[in-house]
Amino acid sequence: MIVRERMNWWRMLFVWNGSVLKSIIPQLLVMLAVSSLAVLTDGRVLGVKIPLDTVPFPLVGVSLAIFLGFRNNASYARYVEARQIWGRILIAARALTSQAINYLPSEDDGFARKLFTRRLIAFVYALTHQLRRTDPMPDLARYLEKDELEQLRGMAYIPVALLDRLRLMLAKAARRRQGHEQVLWMLDAQVGELAAAVGGCERISNTPIPYAYGVLMHRTVYLYCFLLPFGLVDAIGIATPLISVFVAYTLFALEAIAQEIAEPFGTDPNCLALHAMTRNIERSVMEQCGEAMPAAIEPCDRYTID
């Protein structure tokens, strides 16, 4: 995820990191070649004049803009929902840690607070790796014993398995206290919040925007852009490449941005910084328990944090 300081309008014109420009340069070069060919041939292809003018393009452009707006709104809604879910994970993890520390018996009474904390942090790391389809074992090995790692290895839903173990620990500890039913209900509500967050993340990750929308938008954008120079060449002549590339940049960039943020758990520059958020939860929980915190993940080269 790109993190930047606020910039003035002039510096914003020349931003490179975080811009999708570098991912669409090949398409823009193709557009420059097509529009230059249109100028050189006076709008002819294989000697045949393409009978286009500027009239149909505003009509198609309005429809295309509406469709692009819908796609970008749908993608951004997924991004915002994913960020809100991770905000709830942070809140629930802090609340669960605080409640476990203050309402449950101490180590002498059989409640292993250190193991509880480590399993909670391992849960957050396991969820991050599940969403990004990467191997969680190196991170889990920092907090879990070898026997437990072997039990978890190969499981399809490691975060859920860790939540089950947390719930079992809380249930056993709560039963040792008088009036444990109310305490258990309060603690279980936070575990349920974490489980709901897992389900919300899985829903976003496993249910992409319907593929047909992406195909339709992709085809329409490219067809519109490749035909545009032949509609403009008679009206603006030598300025056709400049205007065509500028219009293409806008449309190609909107499509690229929508593709990136539609998958908020990915690794593209504009996706969520899951590793940074995971480290933030880890630091917060360890501080609550009075343990030494790992270093925060800071923006690399002042721009990217993940």
The domain locations on the chain are 9-288
Task: Give the range among 45-49, 94-98, 134-138 with minimum mean pLDDT.
Answer: 45-49
Collapse the DSSP code of 267 into the 3-class scheme (helix H, G, I; strand E, B; otherwise coil) and give the result.
coil
pLDDT band at 106 (very low <50, low <70, confident <90, very high): low
Q: Assign residue 81 a region: left if phi > 0, alpha if psi is -120 to 50, beta otherwise?
A: alpha
Identify the CA nearest to 230 among candidates 34, 65, 47: 34
The Cα-based distances of 45 to 29, 159, 266 in angstroms read 19, 59, 42
Q: Indicate whether this model's pTM tops 0.85.
A: yes
Q: Which two tokens stand for residue 217?
A: 């938008």
**Residue-wise pLDDT tens digits, 113-158:** 888 999 999 999 999 999 999 999 999 999 999 999 999 998 999 9
pLDDT band at 301 (very low <50, low <70, confident <90, very high): very low
**Helical residues (DSSP H) of 13-112, grouped into ranges:** 21-40, 56-103
Neighbouring residues of 159: CB distance < 8 A, sequence distance ≥ 6? 123, 126, 127, 130, 198
